[in-house]
C-alpha cells in the first residue's frame, strides 16, 4: 500500500472531526468580527489606537480569520473526499 503523503489536510478527523471543523469556522468568524469591532471602536473614539495601526492589525486579524475558515473548509472537503473514496472501495469489494 502506498504511503499517503502527510500534510495538515490529511490528519485523521476521527471522533472530533466535525467538532474541529465547526469550531475552526466559528473561531475564524470571531477573528473577523473582532477585526470589525476594532475598526468600529477606533472610528467612534472608544479606542485611542491610531487609525493606521488599527487598520493594519485589524487587516491581519481578518486575514488570519479567513485563513482559519479556509483551513476548516479544506479539512471538511478532504474528509468528505476520503469518505466517498472509502464508500466506493467498499462498493467495489461487494
Residue 41 to residue 83: CA distance in whole angstroms: 45
Which of 24, 33, 20 lies closest to 61 in space, CA to CA? 33
Residues 25-64, one symbol each (x = binds other proteins by CB under 8 A, - = not), give -xx--xx-xxx-xx--xx---xxxx----x--x---x--x
Residue 5 to residue 12: CA distance in whole angstroms: 13
Residue 50 to residue 48: CA distance in whole angstroms: 6
Q: Which is nearer to other proteins, 53 or 88 (CB)?
A: 53
Residue 54 to residue 3: CA distance in whole angstroms: 46
Task: State the cell numbers at 6.
Answer: 502527510
Could you tell me the smallest distance in angstroms from the CB atom of residue 39 to other proteins? 9
Q: Which of 1, 3, 8, 92 binds other proteins (CB under 8 A)?
A: 8
Could you tell me the smallest distance in angstroms from the CB atom of residue 69 to other proteins? 11
Q: Please give the residue ranges that form the binding site for other proteins (CB under 8 A).
A: 6-8, 10-12, 15-24, 26-27, 30-31, 33-35, 37-38, 41-42, 46-49, 54, 57, 61, 64, 68, 71
Amino acid at each position: 500500500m502506498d504511503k499517503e503523503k502527510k500534510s495538515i489536510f490529511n490528519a485523521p478527523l476521527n471522533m472530533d472531526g466535525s467538532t474541529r471543523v465547526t469550531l475552526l469556522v466559528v473561531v475564524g468568524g470571531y477573528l473577523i468580527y473582532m477585526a470589525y469591532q476594532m475598526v468600529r471602536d477606533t472610528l467612534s473614539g472608544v479606542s485611542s489606537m491610531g487609525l493606521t495601526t488599527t487598520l493594519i492589525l485589524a487587516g491581519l486579524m481578518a486575514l488570519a480569520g479567513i485563513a482559519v475558515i479556509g483551513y476548516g473548509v479544506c479539512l471538511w472537503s478532504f474528509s468528505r473526499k476520503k469518505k466517498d473514496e472509502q464508500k466506493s472501495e467498499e462498493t467495489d469489494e461487494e
